[in-house]
């Protein structure tokens, strides 16, 4: 039995008086495709943001590849991680955002080459070559010299995926990556993610409202509500045969709102 | 008193010397204000309160006191502490510090206007703080604030006559000295006004162009 690549141990997080995560624990296996679903405010996006170190946790522990994310050992004691440790840990993780967050002052190619050149010292020619391969994979090679403002939402998101892949993370986090897209642009982004799931053994965590996609894509679905995992299981069990009352009512609402399952 | 064109011709070379110094002081003062403003804006954002608080206080102090007083301080009082500066240098430092506290606010607004998602994307790309500032935040923050910065530089230009109080031989000081020599004020002072007006008008045209070129955020 392999070791989990991510081990989350009773973490809590509050924004002011609002408790987003309440003693949450979960594990992710290497190569696993995980879909996090649930109502807004249930804490699923916060999990991704915490793994990307965009938010700090109030308590608990997270291990990535057997190493503490927010702590480091100094002798016998565990102390809060310093920036150097966080930088090292971040190399393992990449993230794609709901609002793309491309660098608007840089062309598509520079968006993809920037981080490898700056953070890993990859030579320019090599970074270019790799970036073009990735842009080709997401179907954006012909737009390498375009500026982000000239792209559609779907195109921006595909570039953002290439940018995250350029650092070769072990774990990719997808935070509602199709929520800001016009409906007709959703599929082109989902196709890229399907290919990624088929062609790589990357671990992928996906927060989504696309239940149909989650069903096909995920090995395991976690249903979140009020900062806890209410139910988890294989997609067919969660979507066809949810056991918990809260899961049932959430899925009913989502279907009523026109989402496919 | 009649307008005397011969007198105008006679004093013109002296006044042009003054114009040169005025423009030089403005340019150097602007460069210094641009740098000082950025430094203040960055230090005020420091997570370390022992840095951000004193910087905020000093900036507030400089902004809250008159430039003329500061110029006297730099030129006439610092020598008591062994710091003796040539007049033009003292003037440029005064202008740069004083206007730096204003441009700091421009930088602050410009930096705040960069969406939070850009900081987060930089972090997700594993850039460190310096790389994030140099490659992501400042290149986006600065172009939209160029018109506002230029506005302060024009305001600074019109305040350069204050430097005459610390013996800088800029336009106003030259005009005063010829006026005092010949006891004729109408030509020198009118010409000072005309010079400032012409350069200001020219600057405003430049400013409008900068606004068209850089003023639109996010393009």
Residue B219: pLDDT over 70: no
- List pLDDT tens digits, range A175-226: 999 999 998 999 999 999 999 998 889 999 999 988 999 999 999 999 999 9
Domain limits at B201?
5-215
Quote the number of domains for chain B.
1
CB A225 within 8 A of CB A246: yes
Residue B212: pLDDT over 90: no
Nearest to A118 by CA among B118, B133, B138, B126: B126
Beta strands in A99-202 (DSSP E): 171-175
Mutate to test the interface with B, among A94, A115, A119, A166 (most CBs of B within 10 A): A115
Pairwise CA distance, residues B143 & A34, whole Å: 42
ipTM computed for the complex: 0.92
Q: Give the mean pLDDT of B146-165.
A: 93
Q: Report the predicted TM-score, pTM, of the whole model to 2 decimal places.
A: 0.87
Pick A114's closest partner by Cβ from B118, B135, B140. B135
Which residues pair with residue A174 across a beta bridge?
A96, A206
Instruction: Give Cβ neighbours of residue B84 (< 8 Å, ≥ 6 apart).
Output: B78
Residue B216: pLDDT over 80: no
Pick A167's closest partner by Cβ from B126, B129, B219. B126
Chain A contact set for B120 (CB, 8 A): 52, 54, 97, 101
* 3-state SS class at A237: helix
Calculate the dihedral angle through the C-alpha atoms of A220, A226, A227, A228, rounding to the nearest 10 degrees: -50
**What is the arrangement of strands in the sheet containing A203-207, beginning at the earlier edge strand?**
A93-96, A171-175, A203-207, A33-37, A220-225, A228-233
Mutate to test the interface with B, among A51, A114, A163, A179 (most CBs of B within 10 A): A114
Interaxial angle between packed helices B5-44 and B49-63, expressed in degrees from 0 to 180 and rounded to the nearest 10 = 160
Chain B contact set for A103 (CB, 8 A): 118, 121, 135-136, 140
- List pLDDT tens digits, range A122-159: 999 999 999 999 999 999 999 999 999 999 999 999 99
Residue B161: pLDDT over 60: yes
Token pair in block for residue B76: 């006439």
Q: Give the mean pLDDT of B144-151.
A: 90
Residue written as tokens 């400089």? B62
- Give the end-to-end CA distance of chain B in Å, rounded to a whole number: 57
Residue A86: pLDDT over 80: yes
Assign residue B110 the CATH number of its domain: 1.10.3720.10
A99 touches chain B (CB under 8 A): yes
Token pair in block for residue B122: 């930089």
Question: Are B126 and A99 an interchain contact pair (Cβ–Cβ within 8 Å)?
Answer: no
Question: Are B118 and A103 an interchain contact pair (Cβ–Cβ within 8 Å)?
Answer: yes
B209 vs chain A: nearest CA distance in angstroms? Answer: 21
Mean pLDDT of chain A, nearest integer: 93
Residue A41: pLDDT over 50: yes
Question: Are A101 and B125 an interchain contact pair (Cβ–Cβ within 8 Å)?
Answer: no
Per-residue confidence (pLDDT) for residue B215, from 0 to 100: 63
* 3-state SS class at A238: helix
Alpha carbon A217 to its chain's center: 14
Per-residue confidence (pLDDT) for residue A255, from 0 to 100: 78
- Work out the pLDDT band at A34, boundaries 50, 70, 90: very high
- Work out the pLDDT band at B174, boundaries 50, 70, 90: very high
């Amino acid at each position: 039995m392999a070791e989990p690549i991510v081990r989350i141990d009773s973490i809590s997080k509050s924004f002011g008086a609002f408790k987003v995560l309440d003693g949450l624990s979960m594990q992710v296996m290497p190569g696993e495709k995980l879909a996090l679903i649930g109502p807004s405010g249930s804490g699923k996006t916060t999990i991704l943001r915490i793994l990307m170190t965009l938010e700090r946790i109030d308590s608990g522990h997270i291990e990535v590849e057997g190493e503490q994310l927010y702590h480091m050992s100094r002798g016998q004691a565990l102390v809060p991680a310093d920036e150097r440790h966080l930088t090292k840990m971040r190399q393992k993780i990449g993230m794609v955002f709901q609002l793309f967050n491309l660098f608007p002052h840089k062309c598509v190619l520079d968006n993809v080459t920037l981080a490898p050149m700056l953070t890993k010292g990859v030579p320019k020619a090599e970074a270019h070559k790799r970036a073009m391969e990735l842009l080709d994979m997401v179907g954006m090679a012909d737009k390498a010299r375009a500026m982000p403002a000239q792209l559609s939402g779907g195109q921006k998101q595909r570039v953002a995926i290439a940018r995250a892949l350029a650092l070769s993370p072990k774990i990719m986090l997808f935070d509602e990556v199709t929520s800001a897209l016009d409906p007709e642009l959703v599929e082109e982004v989902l196709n890229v993610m399907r290919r990624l799931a088929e062609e790589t053994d990357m671990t992928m965590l996906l927060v989504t409202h696309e239940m149909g996609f989650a069903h096909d894509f995920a090995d395991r679905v976690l249903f979140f509500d009020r900062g806890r995992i209410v139910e988890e299981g294989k997609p067919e069990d969660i979507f066809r045969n949810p056991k918990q009352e809260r899961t049932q009512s959430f899925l009913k609402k989502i279907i009523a709102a026109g989402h496919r399952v | 008193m009649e307008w005397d064109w011969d007198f105008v011709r006679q004093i013109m070379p002296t006044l042009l010397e003054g114009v040169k110094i005025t423009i030089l002081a403005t340019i150097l003062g602007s460069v210094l204000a641009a740098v000082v403003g950025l430094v203040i804006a960055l230090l005020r954002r420091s997570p370390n309160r022992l840095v951000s608080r004193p910087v905020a206080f000093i900036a507030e102090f400089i902004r809250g006191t008159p430039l003329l007083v500061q110029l006297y301080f730099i030129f006439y009082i610092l020598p008591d502490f062994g710091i003796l500066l040539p007049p033009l240098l003292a003037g440029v430092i005064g202008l740069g510090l004083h206007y730096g506290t204003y441009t700091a606010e421009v930088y602050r607004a410009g930096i705040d206007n960069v969406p939070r998602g850009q900081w987060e994307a930089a972090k997700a790309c594993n850039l460190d703080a310096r790389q994030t500032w140099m490659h992501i935040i400042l290149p986006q923050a600065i172009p939209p604030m160029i018109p506002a910065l230029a506005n302060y530089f024009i305001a600074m230009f019109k305040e350069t006559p204050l430097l005459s109080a610390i013996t800088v031989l800029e336009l106003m000081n030259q005009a005063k000295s010829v006026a005092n020599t010949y006891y004729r004020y109408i030509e020198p002072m009118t010409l000072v006004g005309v010079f400032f007006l012409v350069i200001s008008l020219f600057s405003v045209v430049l400013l409008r162009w900068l606004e068209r070129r850089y003023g639109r955020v996010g393009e």
